[in-house]
Amino acid sequence: MFYLNKFLLKRNNFNTFTIGAVVIFICFIFFYLTFFIHPSGDDYTYAFLELKSPFYKAYLDEYLLWNGRYLSNIFVLKNPLTFGFNKVWIYRIFVFIIQLTLFYSFFYIINKFIKPSSLRGRWFLSSSLFVAYLILMPAINEGFYWYTGLATYQLSIIFFLFYLNTLFSKLNYKRIFLLILIQFIVAGFNEVSMLYMNILHLSLLIFRYNKHKNWQRIILFLSCIVFSSFVYLAPGNDIRSSYFQNVSNQFGYSLLMSFIQIVRFGVILNTGFFLFLLVLFFKYQFPHLFSNVKLEKSKNNFFLIPFIIFLILFFSIFPAYWTTGIMGQHRTVNYAFFFCVPLLCYWYILFFYRYDLFFQKIFFRIKNYYVLIFLISISFSKNFHGVITDIYYSKQTHFDLENNKRYSNLNLYHQSNKKKDIYLKRLNTHPFSISVYDLSEDPNNLANIGYQRYWKIQGKVLINHE
């Protein structure tokens, strides 16, 4: 019996070590690719707007003529490209810092709600959830490897989590003031974070969350409305919406397409049953992590969590269809997945508690093959497959070399100061994971105009077909 227990302990340690090694490896390769990214699309456009005129004028123009994101506009206008030509290393460092902070924010929020467990267990769980987010994110090139996307959406998540941590603590006058300040920050990043915060406080007001007094709930809700009005009533919103007059504000179409997209992204959220297997492993390998889950409350949460996930996806998708008639970029859904991933993990925990004996038997039956099953589930992920393919075929290094050659040609042009058109080669390598908005045959394309203005090219940017 002693030897059997010893063998089972070794097997448990092997599974834990292997899964941990896989999680660390995936984190490493995702961060590794950051050091091959290059500015793209709006990065050049916003940098040019800030460089051509005083910052305050560029900032007011954005608010008055394009959008109401009064806070994220600061970050995108004062982006790393404003420090000078060819400062790609600064661009990458900025992106890497935001990525690391995003990674820590997972641990930060888990540390808030799973305190009885060990520090190692919490780090392991938070790292695994972060990997799950990267693997399942609908558009990783826009969400993780592009400065403008990170600054507008992912950076706001960090402040939103800090806000949640403060909100669900014991409130006093100082914390109320701090919450109002963070509200101002979160609302100003993007429309989705603003919408989430309004819905959160409306829910707290209606259901009277027991840790908050009436005056606290009312003050926070009203301040949230005030800051949201700065975004919603911005003059630039009307100008931007005028580009979609014939396709916007179609309620029935927007509702139908939103439901279809919710089903689509719900399937993506469960790709390869990766989250299911991940939580199954933690539930029975580290049962102490979830010792504070109260079964009495879990009965209500079991039905509430799927509804919350549905609402999160809906409010990330419907506004795009309502205002533009199309889904467009997946940046808002990237934002939604950050909250959907841990919520779905929590729902799986409740699911396993509900049918504990059944899933316990399943886990112990597949335990010897768990690592293999876990690796297979990861391989179903589009993001992991894409990142591995990029690295295996050295797409990131080829992409880096091609961009550096382009910069050399631009530098030569800039030094010669010739008032003529410049011909640049299109990029032959387009990695799956890195954001690429390449030059077009049309010199009036946004990408071409971005290069032309940022690099102060007197003529037009044209494609070299040689």
325-357 tens-digit pLDDT: 887 778 899 999 999 998 998 899 888 888 888
Range of the domain at 451: 395-463
pLDDT at position 8 is 40
The percentage of the chain sitting over the pLDDT mark of 70, rounded to a whole number, equals 90
pLDDT (mean) for 187-206? 91
Establish if 9 belongs to a structural domain. no
How many structural domains is the chain composed of? Answer: 2
Model confidence over 5-30: pLDDT tens digits? 443 444 556 677 888 888 889 999 99
Q: Where does a domain end: 329, 364, 392?
A: 392
Is the pLDDT score of 2 beyond 60? Answer: no
Q: What is the CA radius of gyration of the chain?
A: 24
Residue 6 in any domain: the answer is no
pTM over 0.75: yes
Pairwise pLDDT comparison (450 vs 245), residue with the higher score: 450
- Tokens for 378, please give them: 């990861």
User: Mean pLDDT throughout 237-262?
Assistant: 82
Specify the pLDDT at position 1. Answer: 39
Q: Do residues 320 and 276 share a domain?
A: yes
Q: Residue 360, class by beta-carbon neighbours within 10 Å (0-12 exposed, 13-18 middle, 19+ buried)?
A: middle
Last residue of a domain, one of 339, 360, 392: 392
Residue 295 is predicted with a pLDDT of 54
Residue 36 main-chain phi, psi, to 5 deg: -125, 5
Report pLDDT for 86. 66
> With 80 as the cut, is the pLDDT of residue 290 above it?
no
Of 367, 392, 417, the residue that ends a domain is 392
Same-domain status, 368 and 407: no
Please report which confidence band the pLDDT of residue 38 belongs to, taking 50, 70 and 90 as the band edges.
very high
Instruction: Give the three-class secondary structure for 117.
Output: coil
Q: Supply the pLDDT for residue 16.
A: 77
Opening angle at CA 106, ends 29 and 80, nearest 5? 60
